């Protein structure tokens, strides 16, 4: 896993064969305790398109847009 900073918060970036995940860094004090170590955003290349999962459904705030942008650059 690679440590990165986005929007002032620390993340762990994890890549498997087709899945890219941002995890809230458990050592970063910027995260609420209930989010530390949790997957914040996932993108998976299914071969027929890209599926993504986020912690807040049906909307993107500015931090989530930055998370999505980071992961899309890794996939595309």
Domain edges within the chain: 2-75
Q: Give the whole-number percent of the chain exceeding pLDDT 70.
A: 96
> Which tens digits make up the pLDDT trace of 12-49?
999 999 999 999 999 999 899 999 999 999 999 999 99
Backbone angles phi, psi at 70, to 5 degrees: -60, -50
Round to whole Å and give the CA distance between 3 and 50. 24
Please give the Cα distance from 10 to 4 (Å, whole number).
6
Q: Above 90 in pLDDT, residue 57?
A: no
Q: How far is CA 7 from CA 31, 36, 45, 46, 64, in A?
A: 12, 16, 25, 28, 9
């Amino acid at each position: 896993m690679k440590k990165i900073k986005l929007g002032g918060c620390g993340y762990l970036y994890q890549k498997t064969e087709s899945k890219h995940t941002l995890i809230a860094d458990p050592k970063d004090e910027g995260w609420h305790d209930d989010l530390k170590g949790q997957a914040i955003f996932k993108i998976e290349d299914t071969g027929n398109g890209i599926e993504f999962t986020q912690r807040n459904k049906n909307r993107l705030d500015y931090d989530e847009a930055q998370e999505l942008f980071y992961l899309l650059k890794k996939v595309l």
